């Protein structure tokens, strides 16, 4: 099929709610559940939250609006949408390379992300079967090490996570993605609220609030501002192709600015609530709040083993994590499947199988990177290339394209904004604030 065809962008979302649930599901991932609360507490608490929110509003929102705008105007996969809009603006079709960069970024992220998702599913199984009964700090650490060292077990759970995700993509946009996210995302929010209320009753909640929200502006340094900017940029999911693809399915009647604001608001709310889910248990049972990624797999099982109703709480928590992991993987894989349909003439089913098979193959090396090939640096290299290089460069190029290569009137029309204060603010930010800010993050990240 020729790249100029747009038929494959149908059927699209049936409602704004479906688009929002899919987009929020893509943005809300494992990084929101543990990383945001951890760096918030370590970098000034409430002061860091203020800096993060400023960065999210002034950097992430303008780029996300641009990405969805390009996707809806092009109504194709990221490479096709970038090329089509560029040609429409009288520019080179080679802008499609920016879209290809987004697909490559998502693919590389998926290779390592699917393994962590496998760990989450493994721990969900343990939560259901034993509830971490009798687990202490030493045995919890040993158990996590055993999970990483178990090649066969890791492959099983990794492939199970990919199979669940693949079945959703396989079913299509409305029958698969839309039907799943409109059920899963409200469930995710309900589980988070239930766990927060549980913590308010059981204890440790006041300490968690103080840890996360007591503003300590003495800790705000240039490096902390860069951390906040990086978290705002990376956690919301820009430049991965997902939001541009979801934008291609978006009806013209839906407001892009309002939708993007809701997506960023929901993503940030989940990140903040995650801290109120995790840290009360950590403080109540005298555990280490600075556990980083090990907080989920090594520290929390110890808390679940001691708390009242810990068996049920552990099941709800790892179910929550599983939903966040799977919905994020859907957003990472859908752009690649869409591109194969659009540019290579693959059916939805064939494109899904090709992409999932490719990720599963490289996922084997990612699994081995935690045991047999632990000194190879395979996972660290993929993480560096995708997060430190491709993501910021992709976001920077999207901002530059929207700001300097798209006609101002076309942007205003696609965003459905009057030429008033809000549009002028977006236009100023995407032209003069976002590119230098992202460039600084990229340069310092590489250095």
Q: Closest Cα partner for 270 from 332, 168, 190? A: 190
The answer to the question of residue 196 being in a domain is yes
As a dihedral over the C-alpha atoms of residue 166, residue 169, residue 175, residue 178, rounded to 10 degrees, the angle is 110
Domain span at 274? 7-446
- Other Cβ atoms less than 10 A from the Cβ of 258: the count is 12
The answer to the question of residue 167 being in a domain is yes
Spell out a b/e string for 363-385, using b for 16 or more CB atoms within 10 Å of the CB, else e: bbbbbbbbeeeeeeebbeebbee
Is the pLDDT higher at 1 or at 189?
Answer: 189
Is the pLDDT higher at 242 or at 3?
Answer: 242
Spell out a b/e string for 92-114, using b for 16 or more CB atoms within 10 Å of the CB, else e: eeebbebbbbbbbbbbbbbbbbb
Give tens-digit pLDDT for 4-54.
333 343 458 999 999 999 999 999 888 788 778 878 877 878 888 889 888
Tell me, what's the pLDDT at 292? 67
The answer to the question of residue 23 being in a domain is yes
Calculate the alpha carbon distances from 419 to 42, 43, 88, 252 in Å: 41, 39, 22, 19
Q: What's the whole-number mean pLDDT along residues 56-79?
A: 95
Domain holding 142: CATH number? 1.10.4160.10
Per-residue DSSP letters for 296-310?
IIIIHHHHHHHSTTH
The answer to the question of residue 1 being in a domain is no
The answer to the question of residue 44 being in a domain is yes
Give tens-digit pLDDT for 335-382.
999 999 998 889 999 999 999 999 999 999 999 999 999 988 999 999
Tell me, what's the pLDDT at 7? 39
The answer to the question of residue 89 being in a domain is yes
The answer to the question of residue 2 being in a domain is no
The pTM is what? 0.91
Q: For residues 86 and 253, is the Cβ–Cβ distance under 8 A?
A: no
The dihedrals phi and psi of 304, each to the nearest 5 degrees, come to -60, -35
For the stretch 222-225, contacts whose Cβ atoms lie closer than 8 Å and that sit 24 or more positions apart, written own/partner, are: 224/43, 224/44, 224/48, 224/51, 225/51, 225/55
Q: What's the whole-number mean pLDDT along residues 409-435?
A: 93
Percentage of the residues of the chain whose pLDDT score is greater than 90: 69
- Other Cβ atoms less than 10 A from the Cβ of 308: the count is 10
Reported in sequence order, the residue ranges of 188-302 that DSSP labels E, i.e. its strands, are: none
* Number of domains within the chain: 1
Tokens 């996210």 belong to residue: 181
Sign of dihedral through CA atoms 286, 289, 292, 297? positive
Tell me, what's the pLDDT at 44? 79
The answer to the question of residue 419 being in a domain is yes
Q: For residues 13 and 175, is the Cβ–Cβ distance under 8 A?
A: no
Per-residue DSSP letters for 115-140?
HHHHHHHHHHHHHHHTTTTT--HHHH
Give tens-digit pLDDT for 220-277.
888 788 788 878 877 888 889 999 999 999 999 999 999 999 999 999 999 999 999 9
Q: For residues 326 and 184, is the Cβ–Cβ distance under 8 A?
A: yes
Q: Which helix (H) or strand (E) holds 290?
A: none
Q: For residues 80 and 339, is the Cβ–Cβ distance under 8 A?
A: yes
Tokens 């987004």 belong to residue: 102
- Other Cβ atoms less than 10 A from the Cβ of 409: the count is 9
Measured in whole angstroms, the distance separating CA 436 from the mean position of its chain's CA atoms is 23
pLDDT bracket for residue 182 (50, 70, 90): very high
């Amino acid at each position: 099929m020729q790249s100029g065809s747009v038929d494959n962008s149908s059927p699209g979302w049936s409602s704004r709610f479906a688009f929002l649930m899919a987009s929020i599901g893509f943005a809300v991932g494992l990084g929101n559940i543990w990383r945001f609360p951890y760096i918030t507490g370590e970098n000034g608490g409430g002061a860091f939250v203020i800096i993060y929110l400023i960065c999210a509003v002034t950097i992430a929102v303008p780029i996300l609006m641009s990405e969805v705008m390009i996707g809806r105007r092009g109504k194709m996969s990221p490479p096709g949408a970038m090329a089509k809009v560029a040609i429409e603006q009288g520019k080179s079709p080679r802008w499609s390379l920016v879209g290809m960069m987004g697909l490559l970024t998502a693919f590389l992220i998926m290779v390592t992300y699917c393994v962590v998702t496998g760990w989450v599913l493994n721990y969900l199984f343990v939560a259901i079967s034993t509830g971490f009964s009798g687990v202490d700090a030493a045995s919890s650490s040993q158990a996590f090490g055993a999970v990483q060292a178990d090649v066969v077990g890791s492959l099983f759970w990794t492939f199970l996570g990919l199979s669940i995700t693949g079945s959703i993509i396989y079913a299509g946009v409305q029958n698969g993605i839309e039907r799943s996210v409109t059920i899963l995302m409200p469930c995710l929010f309900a589980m988070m609220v239930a766990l927060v209320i549980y913590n308010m009753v059981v204890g440790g909640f006041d300490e968690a609030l103080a840890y996360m929200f007591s503003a300590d502006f003495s800790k705000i340094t240039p490096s902390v501002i860069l951390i906040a900017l990086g978290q705002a940029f990376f956690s919301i999911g820009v430049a991965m192709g997902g939001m541009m693809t979801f934008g291609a399915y978006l009806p013209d009647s839906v407001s892009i600015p309002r939708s993007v604001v809701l997506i960023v608001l929901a993503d940030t709310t989940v990140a903040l609530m995650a801290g109120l889910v995790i840290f009360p248990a950590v403080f109540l049972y005298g555990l280490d709040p600075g556990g980083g990624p090990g907080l989920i797999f090594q520290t929390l099982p110890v808390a679940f083993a001691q708390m009242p109703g810990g068996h049920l709480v552990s099941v709800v928590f790892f179910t929550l994590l599983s939903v966040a992991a799977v919905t994020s993987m859907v957003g990472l894989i859908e752009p690649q499947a869409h591109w194969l349909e659009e540019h290579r003439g693959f059916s939805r089913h064939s494109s899904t199988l090709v992409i999932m098979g490719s990720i599963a193959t490289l996922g084997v090396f990612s699994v081995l990177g935690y045991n047999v090939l632990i000194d190879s640096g395979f996972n660290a290299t993929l993480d560096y290339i995708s997060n430190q290089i491709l993501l910021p460069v992709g976001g920077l190029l999207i901002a530059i394209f929207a700001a300097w290569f798209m006609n101002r009137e076309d942007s205003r029309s696609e965003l459905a904004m009057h030429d008033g204060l809000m549009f002028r603010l977006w236009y100023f930010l995407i032209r003069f604030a976002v590119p230098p800010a992202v460039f600084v993050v990229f340069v310092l990240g590489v250095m």
